[in-house]
A and B are shown apart, each in its own frame.
Chain A
Amino acid sequence: MREYQRAYLAHLAEIVELNDLYGHMPESGAAFLSWRRENSLRIREIVGENNAMLREKLFPVLDDIASADQEEIAALEEFALQLGAGGANQPDLTLNYTICCALITYARKWGRRDMLIRQLYRAGLALFYMQEILDRCGQARYRWKMGLLFGEAASFIKRYDDIKDVETRGYIHRSMGNLSLAYSGANREDAVKKLDAVRRSLQILNDPVYQKKTPELPWELYIYVSHQERSSALNVLRAGIQDPVVLREVMESAQFVREYQERDCAKRGVKPMVRWSLAYEAAQYHCGVQPLGRLLRWLEEAYTGRDPRDYSENGIYANISLPGLYSDYISRDEEFKVKKKDIVLHMYRQVARYVREAPEDQARGLLTKYLLLFLESYVEYPDGILEKDFLLQIVVSRQPDAYVRFYLAARITRLMAARALKECPQTLVGVLGCESVRQVRERQEEILQFAYDSGLFHDIGVLAFNDMLVKLGRSWLEEEREMYGCHVYAGEFYLGRSPSTRPYVKAALGHHAWYDGSGGYPAEYRREEDPGRAVTDMVSIAAFITQATDDTDPKNPRPLSLEQAVEMVRAQSGARFSPDAVGLLEGLEDVWEAGRAAAYEKAYRILKS
């Protein structure tokens, strides 16, 4: 690797360290604020240095990749490999993908077939992880591209005999297996496609002709991983789709994986991974072999046997996914839902604690992934832990600086709503179903609370990008900016499920939409259809101001002062922002600095609890 490449990787590791809360908590909220500021200053420095390095050293090479010499290409390959190391915890997913694409261009240009296959595989894998983030937002932007990359690499199976390199042959098989990764939706169509892809891959992996041709390859492992992938189609069964082919093949693979695990773990003297044991148990239930009660008992036992300080993949699965799946299964039966309430609430408290104490280490990507999957099946009891409170705890634990932004946005929104109630209550007609000014006045306390909570939860979708954001050590690439735009869908998704969070869906979806429709996103938000648009308009302004002034956010290269931000809002009145809402922007100074300190204090208290 080149020197700048090593320095870049070292910088990324430092950023992870700087963002690690666990074990670094200062003694007070004020100290916490200054600690975060110091860290963010350092992160900002790093980002500046990284940007300069990439601009001077990397981007010129990528721009003219065809002319790069062998040594440069080898260094790039190694650099990309390091950037993409660690699966979901890749240090720099998007840069890895960008370099892989450049290397594909190079390999095509110079007819480097082995390299082409390798890079197609790696680019496909990078896209898989990028798509995994977008899956949280209900978007499928990278699926077809992933399919093309893996498909092209797999298509070299037709020239298998011409390819002598064992590693390259391995990439062909892995690419063929990975074609199934493009289909992760919990629907019958995706399940069928996934199973088709796995079946074709297994057919070749089990073919003795291929095994004989390349005996050096870990065939057994490949077959095992293929079965693991097929048993992950269990999510389709959980979604209630009872397809006999899916049932049979999932059951078959779950059995295979279980037996393999038992043999392998016995050999290595370790416990089997709970995920695959669960796959077997769940498949038994879905196939009608065992009742729901037995599966729930198995889950309770497995959960009790977890290590609450284990942050390995198996540990994260046991501590976060088991409660999630437990919630999912009890939701199928009202009786269980009532009977198991205490267990569920206990599990939720434990999950919150587990997440709060999680180190910012290699497991952060997996933690986010499983945490977000857990949220998908959150069961809200009216007298239990409301999802809105749980979400806030998660935000504080994973992104305390984002929480501060949310808190400030909430206070600004409430301030604006209070002014609107006093000066122009007619603009609030429609909010919370109020049909007249009289009703608005009668429900002003509720409206103020609604405004506050809308500000507080408007950007909850950024949770989907947590692992991408906390390790970001450079300015955004275009790809990332586009991906990040999907956080509004994630917000809509997370808030749309529980009664306590549902009222804030429109603010989450619409806070980047422009007042006059001439810009912003997403197209799915139509202001005229939002009865609470007066509040969403206020949230848009609050979100802009808090984001533009946030000096702890490294992706905000030139933070503005409050005055500058307000000036920009006024300048865009009538286009981006509602003139009515802009007219309410007075007295922000009162909530500003004090509000920030109070927010850090609050975050600190939650983190210490």
Chain B
Amino acid sequence: MVQKPLEAVWGLTDQPVLALEPRDGSCRVLYQNAAASALCPEYENPLEAMLDPERQALLDALGSGENTGPLFCHLAKSVYAARIIGWNGYRMCLLQEASAYYNATQSALNEAIMASQAKTSFLSEISHDIRTPMGAIMGLTQIALSQPELPPRVKECLGKIQVASNHMMSLLNEVLDMSRIESGRVVIQPAPVSVADLLHEILIVARPQADAGELTFRLEMGPVVWERILADGVRVKQIYLNLLSNAVKYTPAGGEVDLYFSVQPDPREGWVRMVVRVKDTGIGMGSEFMSRLFTPFEREEKSTVSRIQGTGLGLTITKNLVEVMGGSIAVESRSGEGSCFTVEIPFETAPQDDAGALEALGGQRVLLLDSDPKESGLIREMLSSLRMESDWARDADNAVLLLNDADLSGDPYFAFLTAERVPGVEMMLFLSEIRQRMGEDFPILLLSENDWSQTEYMFTQAGVDGFIPLPLFRSRLAAGLRACTGPGLPGAAWEEPAMTPDLSAKRLLLVEDNELNREIALELLGGCGVRIETAENGREAVRKFQQSAPGYYDLIFMDIQMPLMNGLEATRAIRALGRADAKSVPIVAMTANAFVEDVQNSLQAGMNAHIAKPLDMQKVFETMERFLGRDAG
């Protein structure tokens, strides 16, 4: 019945034609002309002869009514282009022999893919290769700049070299990152991360950038429902810092950059969502450019943009990373009116161990002095969540009244928590008077959003026992207050390492194959007096360690890529030695391969930490202090 009218029309053509009826994700062949039947005589119809992916693509097109682009099917030894059309209520599939066309385009596509892969590989290789001499340039520039009595012109030139090489290094890193993303080699490695540390590390980079750009930087804290998450901290920071540095770059001096940060509940049990918004009052983007915003190497063609350095890769990398983490990124912007990026990323929660804090602090009463009612409310909520009681004073008069009241009623406060600035009172004077009034054993803690190392001396002189950094996190508040529960005065809530620790009693082994890099490291590390021995490759390092007396080396700095035996193998070999200090000697990776995978690999090999080259001396000293400083001097 069905076949007659179809045959009347389609039976006359020698082009293979089928009439198909979609059915539950599959389809039924209602009719096939003789040309179609002849294509694959061993099968009932050509559909059955098709490769699975090709058949599925055809079914998808059938479901939607018609196909918009060519569908190629391999049937027998030929390639056919399939086209779906509607005819008298039937869905007809017309097959056209296209082997020559297909082979030609496929070859061009393969060439393009190969060319792209070659480009990516080339960029990656060349970037990697350029990084090593760049490291030398940067290190030597640092050494040259530290020389006394440089002629002004030389100093100026060196300064410019330093700026340019820093920029070049950041470009190289972006290109490398992009190549890794394109090649699918980006691996997200979640580990327990403190949200407080994460934000702190973002702020210590972003704030100075905004200051340098003469911008007003504001942080608005939203709710933080959980403070430990399973995240790839390095990659998460990369996302936010990229958005922030863009905001700073594209906002003229005098403008504003607002960062909103929150960790909100997620419908899934054991998950939270980090919602971060970066808003600026910068140059913004036009709607046309917005559609290409996340495309690699895209930059809007504006005179204001062309003066700003960049690869156009940052946002592409950011978007890819956000998506790899299962999150989303949204942008609102208008040309000349600034931009607003909102990133939402889900994270699994990590356990928060606060039983100790609750036990130590529960039931204690704190006086809070802070003129900002909103901020005070949040702090008091946190205190309450630590099962602590609190009273709030919004000015100095009220604080004194409450301190007196508590003291005279025989129920004194456990500690005094105060903002750094309170209107109408000179805080240094006020705090020193509070110290006099309340005695030496009464804990006074300062909430500070500034770099406290700048004001630490003055405030401790005024009687402050410790500092709790803002923005405030429950964990940090608990840590600061818990410090007051131990014997003696609490001291600072956390310690900042000294710039140049005295490590003259310590000995380290520097393992580095590149002579120039060795020279740079020796000069930079020598500043703190530590005794340094060197090894040119992993094998020599293992031998030197084996031949030394137990405890001879206090620290090993290990390059990764070396001839004969690389740093990872050398570390495994040292850790496998049967002597006691083989397990305990700190081994720190020192390499230009500063990607997360490298860090993970070095940790898995038994190393304790990782420092990226070119060496940032502040980080080197921090690391040395961490492993050597505890009993140094």
| Complex Cα gap A141–B404 (Å) | 18
- Chain B neighbourhood of A152, CB < 8 A: 436-437
CB–CB A144/B410 < 8 A: no
- Chain B neighbourhood of A155, CB < 8 A: 404, 407-408
CB–CB A182/B397 < 8 A: yes
A273 within 8 A of B: no
CB closest residue in chain A, given B399: A144
A176-B401 contact, Cβ under 8 Å, with A140-B424, A144-B425, A148-B433: no
CB–CB B410/A147 < 8 A: no
Q: How large is the interface on A (under 10, 10 to 19, 20 to 34, 35 or more residues)?
A: 20 to 34
| Complex Cα gap A159–B150 (Å) | 67
Number of residues of chain B lying within 8 A (CB) of chain A: 20
Taking CB atoms and an 8 Å cut-off, the chain B residues in 405-426 that contact chain A are 405, 407-410, 424-425
CB–CB B397/A148 < 8 A: no
B403 within 8 A of A: yes
A151-B397 contact, Cβ under 8 Å, with A144-B430, A157-B408, A176-B408: no
Contact with B along A173-210 (1 / 0, CB 8 A): 00010010010000000000100110010000000000
| Complex Cα gap A450–B437 (Å) | 51
| Complex Cα gap A60–B230 (Å) | 65
Interface residue from A144, A157, A176, A200 paired with B396 (Cβ < 8 Å): A144
| Complex Cα gap A176–B408 (Å) | 9
B434 within 8 A of A: yes
| Complex Cα gap A193–B405 (Å) | 10
| Complex Cα gap A291–B397 (Å) | 37
CB closest residue in chain B, given A196: B405
A145 within 8 A of B: yes
CB–CB B410/A158 < 8 A: yes
| Complex Cα gap A143–B437 (Å) | 15
Interface residue from A143, A144, A151, A197 paired with B407 (Cβ < 8 Å): A151
Separation in Å of the B294 CB from the closest CB of chain A? Answer: 47
Contact with B along A150-163 (1 / 0, CB 8 A): 11101101100000
CB closest residue in chain A, given B424: A140
Taking CB atoms and an 8 Å cut-off, the chain B residues in 525-573 that contact chain A are none
CB–CB A151/B404 < 8 A: yes
- Chain A neighbourhood of B425, CB < 8 A: 144
CB closest residue in chain B, given A145: B433
Interface residue from B395, B409, B410, B437 paired with A148 (Cβ < 8 Å): B437
| Complex Cα gap A520–B629 (Å) | 50
- Chain A neighbourhood of B407, CB < 8 A: 151, 155
Taking CB atoms and an 8 Å cut-off, the chain B residues in 372-402 that contact chain A are 395-397, 399-401
CB closest residue in chain A, given B430: A144
Taking CB atoms and an 8 Å cut-off, the chain A residues in 485-522 that contact chain B are none
CB–CB B397/A147 < 8 A: yes
CB–CB A148/B401 < 8 A: no
- Chain B neighbourhood of A148, CB < 8 A: 400, 404, 433-434, 436-437
A154-B404 contact, Cβ under 8 Å, with A148-B433, A148-B434: yes
- Chain A neighbourhood of B396, CB < 8 A: 143-144
- Chain B neighbourhood of A143, CB < 8 A: 396-397, 400
| Complex Cα gap A147–B424 (Å) | 15
A144-B400 contact, Cβ under 8 Å, with A151-B437, A158-B410: yes
| Complex Cα gap A287–B7 (Å) | 109
CB–CB A140/B397 < 8 A: yes
| Complex Cα gap A179–B408 (Å) | 11
CB–CB B437/A144 < 8 A: no
Taking CB atoms and an 8 Å cut-off, the chain A residues in 115-171 that contact chain B are 140-141, 143-145, 147-148, 150-152, 154-155, 157-158
Separation in Å of the B412 CB from the closest CB of chain A? Answer: 9
Separation in Å of the B411 CB from the closest CB of chain A? Answer: 12
CB closest residue in chain A, given B409: A200
CB–CB B430/A147 < 8 A: no
- Chain B neighbourhood of A108, CB < 8 A: 436
Separation in Å of the B482 CB from the closest CB of chain A? Answer: 27
- Chain B neighbourhood of A157, CB < 8 A: 408
Separation in Å of the A160 CB from the closest CB of chain B? Answer: 12
Separation in Å of the A111 CB from the closest CB of chain B? Answer: 13
| Complex Cα gap A18–B401 (Å) | 43
CB closest residue in chain B, given A104: B436
CB closest residue in chain A, given B395: A144
- Chain A neighbourhood of B399, CB < 8 A: 144
Separation in Å of the A95 CB from the closest CB of chain B? Answer: 20
- Chain A neighbourhood of B430, CB < 8 A: 144
| Complex Cα gap A148–B400 (Å) | 6
Separation in Å of the B393 CB from the closest CB of chain A? Answer: 10
CB–CB A179/B397 < 8 A: no
CB–CB B408/A147 < 8 A: no
Separation in Å of the A397 CB from the closest CB of chain B? Answer: 34
Separation in Å of the B98 CB from the closest CB of chain A? Answer: 79
Binding site for A on B (CB under 8 A): 395-397, 399-401, 403-405, 407-410, 424-425, 430, 433-434, 436-437
10 nearest CB pairs, A to B: A151-B404, A147-B400, A144-B396, A144-B400, A148-B437, A143-B397, A152-B437, A144-B397, A155-B407, A148-B433
Known: A141-B424, A155-B404. 4 other contacts (CB 8 A): A143-B400, A144-B399, A154-B404, A193-B401
Between A and B, 26 residue pairs with Cβ closer than 8 Å are: A108-B436, A140-B397, A140-B424, A143-B396, A143-B397, A144-B396, A144-B433, A147-B401, A147-B404, A148-B400, A148-B433, A148-B436, A151-B400, A151-B403, A151-B404, A151-B408, A152-B437, A154-B408, A155-B404, A155-B408, A157-B408, A176-B408, A179-B404, A182-B397, A182-B400, A200-B408
Binding site for B on A (CB under 8 A): 108, 140-141, 143-145, 147-148, 150-152, 154-155, 157-158, 176, 179, 182, 193, 196-197, 200
